[in-house]
Structure 1
């Protein structure tokens, strides 16, 4: 399964706040499930990162944190989350137990044991 790195706080917003589009400078023809990798970096000033960590002390960085379906790629969208120039339209976000891994640019195949992918809270 392919993965896509997303900086915090945006990865959090996909799974907790209804963020329905991932903004990119490039287009994709890919459709289907993709793993979301929460990158180690934060998108915003240090003060915002401190506030984010205070509000979300258990948020994960540097790991695969969930799965989402990409259903379209658009250049315009009626969503408060769309800022373009391209947007991967997201549906069906599912959190998983985090799997530490190194991220990469673009779509990538993560160096993880795929048999370890479990819904969040499932210890089996």
Structure 2
């Protein structure tokens, strides 16, 4: 079994390729390293139309009630569009996203968790940042050519192995998880 880093061309910090004394790969250990790489990948569920705003509309601030753990800073996450729409009932056209696909219940792109800070003043991270929330800032946002169906969850969550493989198979430039 190939490691995900070999299969999809990225490096994963902290995991060296295990070798036997004769210099060959250790298949049973190799599987555990590939499993670790998959377990390290996280997804973030965001309700529509804000998921589309991140991928296609330049939204680079996600408002959350909790701070982001320092462990996740610099990590690539999968952007998951929730099945439900946001309670504000804002539409994609309200955000100028008339041509956005509007997929729901699917991974629609990737982003890097760049920083996290608590909004300290009105206008912080305008126009997307909201006062009283933690701002998770994103960079290197990329869309997927085809959405990958997945059931979402609250907060950062671990997607199924098959979901990660389907995303990485179509990602133009897979990047390290951390």
> What TM-score, normalized by structure 2, do the two folds share?
0.59
**Any runs of at least 4 consecutive aligned residues in structure 1 with deviations exceeding 4 A, and if so which?**
48-52
| Larger-gyration structure (1/2) | 2
Higher RCO structure, 1 or 2 (CA under 8 Å, sep 6+): 1
Structure 1 residue 106: Cα displacement: 1.0
Distance change >3 Å, CA 67–CA 103, structure 1 → 2: same
Query: Please, which runs of 5 or more residues in structure 1 have no aligned partner?
Result: none
Deviations 1:54-99 (A, max 9, x none): x347320000111001111111233211014101011010111211
Structure 1 residue 28: Cα displacement: 1.0
The structure in which a higher percent of residues are helix is 2
Matched, 1:17 2:77: no
The structure in which a higher percent of residues are strand is 1
> What TM-score, normalized by structure 1, do the two folds share?
0.83
Query: Please, which runs of 5 or more residues in structure 2 have no aligned partner?
Result: 1-40, 173-178
